[in-house]
Structure 1
Amino acid sequence: MSSSHTVLEQSFKLNSFRPGQQQVISALLAGRSALAVFPTGGGKSLCYQLPALMLDGLTLVVSPLIALMKDQVDALQALGIAAARLDSSLSKDEVQAIYDGIYQQQIKLLYVSPERLKNERFVQRLARCKISLLAIDEAHCISEWGHNFRPDYLTLADLAKTLRAERVLALTATATPAVAADICKQFAIAQADHIQTSFARPNLQLRVTPCGAEARIDLLLSCLQKHPRNAATIVYVTLQKTAEEVAAAINAAGLIAVHYHAGLPDDEREQVQNQFMRGEVPIVVATIAFGMGIDKSNIRAVYHFNLPKSIENYVQEIGRAGRDGEPSLCEMFAVADDIRVLENFTYGDTPTAESLRALVQHLLTFDDVFDISTYELSNQFDLRPLVLNTALTYLELRGVISAQSPFYTEYKIHFLRDHTFILAQFDADRAGFLQRLFAAGRMGRKWLSLDMLTVPEQLQESKERISNALDYLAEQGWIELTVANLRQGYKNNKTMHNVDQLAELHHYLEQLFAEREARDIQRIHAVLAFANNPACLSQQLMYYFGEEGAPPCGICNHCRHTQPALMSLPPVLPLTPAQQTLVAGVKREAHVALQQPRQLARFLCGLPSPATSRSRLKSHPAFGALAGVSFSLLIEAAAGA
C-alpha cells in the first residue's frame, strides 16, 4: 500500500504536509475518528481528500456551501481524482451518472449538503455503499454552543451510525474549547485525536480603529487609496443596503468595487465572485454571505466597515487574507453604534412566545404520524425557516416528536420505454404491482403524475415500496423520474398528557431560545471587549480558541500603542416624542402581521419576517425607521402604545 507521503506527491503534487495534517491523516488511516481545528486556510480539506484515495470505499463529505463543493470538486477533477458533488444545480442525467459512479465504485469522494441527508431516498441509496469516511466541514454547526448552530447538523451523529461510517472526521476553523468538547462527545473522538494547530498568522497585521459612524466612509476611502490599485480587498458590512452604498462611494472615488450580498440573483453573485477570483475587480464590498470557501491566496486587505457579530466570524473573515504568506492588513472600524444594530438582529431572531405556543399546539393535534411543509408552517406561525427548524429539532431532542422520513408528495414519470416492455421484465406479482401503480396516476401529455398523499393508501402499498420501485426503473433508464413538494414526516410521541406538561414544554422552548439569544448577545459584547482590551490582538484571539501562552505579535496596533482609543457602548436613550408617535401610529393601523410587540419591534428595526414579507409591509415607510433604537425599548413601547 502507498504511503501518505507518496499519495501527497503523486496525486496532489505537494512536497510536504502542513502542520497537523499528517497527525489527522494517520489517525484516520489507523481507523480512528478525529477532530481537526485548523485556522481558515490551514489545509483542512487535504485531511480527508488524501485518506479518501487510500481507503477502500466512499468518502462522504458534508458541506453547507455549494460554492465550496463546486470549487473543491473542480480542483480534484483537475488532478485526475474521482470526485463528485450532489446539489440542486445538477440535471437528472448528471445525478444519475453520479449514482452509477458510486455503485460501480468509480467515485472516491462525494460532496453533499446536510439538507440532502434528510432525504430518505438518498440515505437509502447511500446505505447500499461502503462509507469508509464521513467528513463534516464547518463542524461547529453541530454544537448548539457554536456561533452558527444549524439544526440539520444535529442528526449527523445518528446518521454516521445509520450509514455504518467506519470513521468520522469533523473539521472547523472556529471551535472554542466548549464547542470542541461537544463535537468530540457526539462522535466519540478521543482527546488524543482532537488535533488543533496554532491560530497565529504572523503575516497578518491586525488593527482596530475606533471612529464615529459619519467618519468611517472617509477613513475607508483614505485607506483604500494607499493600496496598489489592483490589491485584492474585501470590505465586510452588516446590511445589504450598506454593501451597495459603500461600493458606490468607492467607485465614485475613482476606485473599482462591486457589491455582493444574499439578496442578489444567483447568477449575479457568481459573476461577482468570478470577477474577484480572476482579479478583474480588486474590491468586493460584501455581507458575510461572501467568502465562505473562497480560496484566493493573494487577498492583501480585509476591512470590517461594520463590527463582526462574533469573534468566530471575525477570525473566519480575516483568515481569507494573506494565504500566500505575504504581509496583509486586517482593519476593523470600531463604531459603537454597530453594537445596537447587531443586538437588534439577534433579538429579532428570537420567536415570539405566542408563535411557539401556536406551533406546538398545532403539531400536537395530530394523532400519530403526520407530515408538514416547513414553508407553510413558517408562514402560518411567522417563524423564519431556520427558527422553525430549530424549534422542531428542540422538540425532537425533548422526545415530543420523532422525525420520520421526508418525502415528496408528487412523483412525475416520463416513460422512456413503453409499459409493455417494462412489465415484461418482472414476474407476475411485481408486474401486477407496477400495472396498478401506473393506473393510479394522472396522465398528462408527457408526464404521469402520482399523488403520494393518496396513491399508497389507494393501492394499500407502502411509500417505500413505491419509491424503491420507481428508483429502480429510473436506474435502468426505462423512465425519467422527477419529484416535487417536499414534506417532512414526524410522529407525535404523545408525551404531553396534561396542561401542566404542555405549559412546561412551552417554557422549555422559550427558555432555550432566550439562552441562545443571551449567548449571541454575549458574543457581540466579546467583540467590544476584544476591541477595547489593550492586550495584543493576536494573543487575544489565540486565547479565545484555547491557545494559551502565545507571545505578543509585535505588529498589531495594540502592540504598537500603549493606550489605544476605547469604544464605548452608546447610551440607551428614551424614545423621542416623534418616535413614540411613530410606534403608536403603526400600532393603530392594526396589521395582522404586527399584532405582537416583538413583531412590531422587529418591523420598526427593519428585520423582515415571513408575515411582513407576505403582507408586503417591507415597502411601508416605517419599516426600518427605528433601526438604531434599542430593541427592548421598542418592545416596551409596542406593548404600551
Structure 2
Amino acid sequence: MTERIRSALGEHFGHAELRPGQAPVMEHLLAGRSAAAVFPTGGGKSLCYQLPALLLPGLTLVVSPLIALMKDQIDALAARGIAARRLDSTLGAEGHREVMERVRDGSLRLLYVAPERFNNERFRAAIARVRVSLFAVDEAHCISEWGHNFRPDYLKLAEFAREFGAERILALTATATPRVLEDICAAFRIAPGCAVRTGFYRPNLHLLTTPVAADRRDGKLLGLLRERPRGPTIVYVTLQRTAETLAGRLAGAGLPARAYHAGLKEEERTRVQEWFMASGDGIVVATIAFGMGVDKADIRYVYHYNPPKSLENYAQEIGRAGRDGEPAICHLLLCADDLNVLENFVYGDTPDVGAVRGLLGALFAAGEAFDLSLYEFSARHDIRPLVLRTLLTYLELEGWLEAGTPFYADYRFQPLFGSGEILDRFEGERRIFLEGLFRQARKGRTWFSLDPAAAAAALGCDRERVIRALDWLGEQRMLEVKAAGVRNRYRRLRAPEDTDSLADQLHQRMLRREAAEIDRLGQVLALAAGEGCRSAALAAHFGETLVEPCGHCSGCRGEGAVTVERRNPPIPPGLGTELEPLLESEALLGTPRALARFLCGVTTPKLSRARLGSHRLFGRLERMPFSEVLAWAEARLE
C-alpha cells in the first residue's frame, strides 16, 4: 500500500488496513491504468473507487443500477464530509439542478447514476464538458451476454466512457465466472494483469438445503425462525405477492417481519430498509429488489423460500449474510412447485419468430435514418421492452444499425415568472427567438408542452438551439423544465438480402439465451443434488478451488443429496374443446409459443393490451413445465 493510499484511508475512512485485493486495484487506478475488481459480496468493492476519487483531480462517475446502493453510500460519504451525490428518478427538478451545478463547478467528487441516465441527451452533453478521471461500473457482469443478468444498456457503457474521454475505468462485480470476466476486460479494454480477483469462499457462511413440500414450507420456515437465536434475517421470495403474504403470516405469528419489493412506493421501501438497518432481529421478506448495496454487517440468516434463478444470484444473495465475519446460516428451502414459475419467467422473454420478422420488416423499411419509441415498438411487435433492446443491440453489434443519441420528443415547462418578465431580460435577436419559442408551446392546465423538432422547423433553427434555450432557462430558474417521450435514433448501415433469414438467426440466438437461462436454474438444482461439499462446488463455479471441504454445509454434515421430483398434473382432456371459441376469436394465440405462454400464465405486451390475463383459462397450466405445454400446443395447432 502506497503512502498516498494509507494516508487517505486513515484520514477519510478511519481504517489502518485495506481488505484483500483493494490495494492492487487502487494502485492500478492511481497509475492511470483501468482495472477490474472481482470481490465477493461484502468484500469492499466500493472503497476501490471512493478512495481514488479523493486523490484524482476530476469527477468520479459511478454507474450502478441500484438506487439503494447509491443512497446508502452517499449517506455514508456525506457523514465523512465527502462530496457525493446521485442523479435518479427520485430527484425533483430543484435537486437535479443543484447536482448538475456542482458537477459543472467541480465541487463534486463522486456522482452516482444509473446506466439509463446516458439515454438523457442533456446529461450526456453536460458530462462531455467535465473532466472524468474515473468511470466506475458496478455490477459489471451485466455487460456480458453470457452473464446471469445481461443488460443491453451495459454494452454501451464502454462506448460512453470513451466518448467522454474517461481517463481510467474500474469494472466491479461479485459474481463473474472466468468467461464473464474475459468479456468484461475485452469490452472495457482492461489488461488481464489489471483484473484482480480475490477468494470467493467465505468460511463463516453455512450453506444448508432442505427439501420441502409447498404445503409444509411455511411451517418449516416458522419453526426454523423460532428455534434459532434471533438475528437480522432476509427471506428471499420470487413474487411480490408472496412477499406480502408471507410477511403477513410471520407478523401474525408474532415475529418482526415486513415485506419489501419493487411494487412498493419509494417512501415505503425506504422505511422498511431503514427499519431493518437499525434492527437487531428484523425479518425482511423480499424479492431480489432488496439487499443490493445494503451494507448491514450483522445479518445472521438468509433464507431462500423460493430457489434463486442461478448460482450467481444465489452467491450474491447469501453474500449479504455475515459480513462481520461471525457465523451466518444460508438456508435454501427447495420446493419442486417453484420451478415452473422460475422457468416461465425465462420462456416469457422469447418472442415468436413472427414477431422478430415483423420487427425487422419495420426497421429496414424505416429509411436510412429514423427514430423510434421502444415502448411503442414493444407493444406493436409483442416483444418485451428489455428483449427489444437486446435485439436492437444485436443488430448494432453485427453492423446492421448504428445507434445515435437518444432524445426527448416532448418537453414540458412551467414558467416561474410571467412571460413578459422573462422576455424583458433579453433584447435583440435572443428576445425575438424566445418570443417565437414561447408561441410554439401549447398550454395545458398548468404546464406548457413543446415539440422541440417542430418548434425548430417553425423558427428556422436547429433542434439543439431549442434544447439549449430550455435548459438554460431551467438552470436560471425562470422555467421548471421536464422532458419525456424518449426516442432512440438509428441509422441503417446496410440492409439484409433476406430479412426472414436474419430474423430466423436472431430468433435462434434468443432460443440459445433461453436455453442458457434454463441451464442456470439447473445448476442450482445440481448444487443441491451434489454429494460433497456445497461450498466447494459453489466456489468452483467461480473459478476457485478449496483446499479442503468447509465442514459445515449440508453435504459436509452428511445430510445427503437433495433430489427434486416434479409431480406435474396431467393436461385436462377437455382443454382443447374449451379453447376452441377463444382460438377462433383471438388470432393473437395462433402460434404454439403464444398459446403456451397464455396457458402458463406468462404475459406479453399484446396479451396484456388484449386483457387476456383476466380470461378464465389464462394460467390454466401454470403448474406444468412450459416445454410440455409448448409440445401440447404444437400438436394442438397443427
TM-score by length of structure 1 reads 0.93
**2:54 is aligned with 1:58:** no
Mapped pair 1:597 → 2:569: no
The aligned residue for residue 70 of structure 1 is 71
Deviates more, 1:297-306 or 1:124-133: 297-306
Task: Check 1:336–1:413 CA distance in 2 against 1; reply closer, same or farther (3 A cut).
Answer: closer
Partner of 1:537: 534
Partner of 1:611: 606
**Structure-2 residue corresponding to 1:242:** 242
Paired residue for 1:346?
346
CA distance in 2: counterparts of 1:254 and 1:433, whole angstroms: 67
Q: Are the counterparts in 2 of residues 413 and 479 from structure 1 also a CA contact under 8 Å? A: yes
How far is the alpha carbon of 1:151 from its aligned partner? 0.8
Which residue of structure 2 lines up, in the alignment, with residue 199 of structure 1? Answer: 200
2:628 maps to which of 620, 628, 633? 633
Structure 2 contact 209–562 (Cα < 8 Å) conserved: no
The equivalent residue for 2:408 is: 408
Aligned to 1:293: 293
Q: What SS does structure 2 have at the residue aligned with 1:284?
A: strand
Question: Which moved further from structure 2: 62-71 or 423-432?
Answer: 423-432
Contact 1:580 1:637 in 2 (8 A): no
Partner of 2:35: 34
Residue in structure 1 matched with residue 100 of structure 2 by the alignment = 99
Task: Encode CA deviations 1:483-527: one digit per residue, 9 max, x unaligned.
Answer: 22222222233423x3x2x12210221021111101111111111
Unaligned runs of 5+ in 1: none
Of 207-216 and 376-385, more deviation after overlay is shown by 207-216
Alignment of 1:495-506 (within 5 A): 495-496=495-496, 498=497, 500=498, 502-506=499-503
- Structure 1 CA distance for aligned equivalents of residues 577 and 254 of structure 2: 43
Residue 618 and residue 270 in structure 1: after superposition, are their counterparts in 2 closer, same or farther (change >3 A)?
farther
* Cα separation, 2, equivalents of 1:344 and 1:446: 45
Q: CA offsets per residue over residues 327-369 of structure 1, 9 Å max, x none?
A: 1101112233333332222112211112111112122221132
Helix, strand or coil at the partner of 1:179 = helix
User: C-alpha distance in 2, partners of 1:280/1:559?
Assistant: 30
> In structure 1, how many angstroms separate the alpha carbons of the residues matched to 2:120 and 2:587?
35
Give the stretch that moved more between structures: 568-577 or 169-178: 568-577
Between the aligned partners of 2:424 and 2:360, the Cα distance in structure 1 is 50
8 Å CA contact 2:442, 2:449 repeated in 1: yes
Equivalent position to 1:520, from 500, 517, 520:
517
Alignment partner of 2:556 out of 525, 547, 559 = 559
Contact 1:258 1:281 in 2 (8 A): no
Supply the distance in 1 between the matched residues of 2:107 and 2:522 (Cα, whole angstroms): 50
Q: Which amino acid aligns with 2:118?
A: L
Distance 1:2 1:107, change over 3 A: farther
CA distance in 2, matches of 1:447, 1:555: 63
Quote the offset at 1:262 in angstroms. 2.7
Percent identical: 51
Cα distance, 1:253 vs structure 2: 3.4
The 5 A counterparts of 1:258-277 are 258-277=258-277
2:453–2:463 CA contact under 8 A, matched in 1: no
Cα shift at 1:585: 5.1
CA positional deviation for 1:559: 1.0
Residues of 2 paired with 1:134 and 1:623: CA distance?
46
User: After superposition, what is the alpha-carbon deviation per residue over 1:437-483, rounded to whole angstroms, capped at 9, x for unaligned?
Assistant: 33333355754432224222222322222212322333333433222
Corresponding residue SS for 2:622: coil
Residue in 1 aligned with 2:485? Answer: 485
- What CA RMSD, in Å, does the superposition of the two structures yield over aligned residues? 2.3
Give 1:173 deviation, angstroms.
0.5
Does the C-alpha gap of structure 1 residues 279 and 621 become closer, same or farther in structure 2, counting only changes over 3 Å?
A: farther
- Give 1:391 shift: 1.5
- CA distance 1:625–1:296, shift in 2 (3 Å): farther
Q: 1:190-217 deviations in whole A, cap 9, x for unaligned?
A: 1111101111111111112223333322
Preserved contact between residue 337 and residue 569 of structure 1 (Cα < 8 Å):
no
Q: How does 1:435-514 map to 2 (within 5 A)?
A: 435-443=435-443, 447-496=447-496, 498=497, 500=498, 502-514=499-511
Give the Cα separation in 2 of the matches to 1:71 and 1:289. Answer: 15
* d(CA) in 1 for partners of 2:120, 2:547: 46
What is residue 615 of structure 2 aligned with on the other side?
Answer: 620
Q: How does 1:207-218 map to 2 (within 5 A)?
A: 207-218=208-219
C-alpha distance in structure 2 between counterparts of 1:349 and 1:115, whole Å: 20
Match of 1:396 in 2: 396
Aligned length: 635
Q: Which letter maps to 1:472?
A: W
Deviations 1:117-138 (A, max 9, x none): 1212211110000000000000
Amino acid at match of 1:272: V
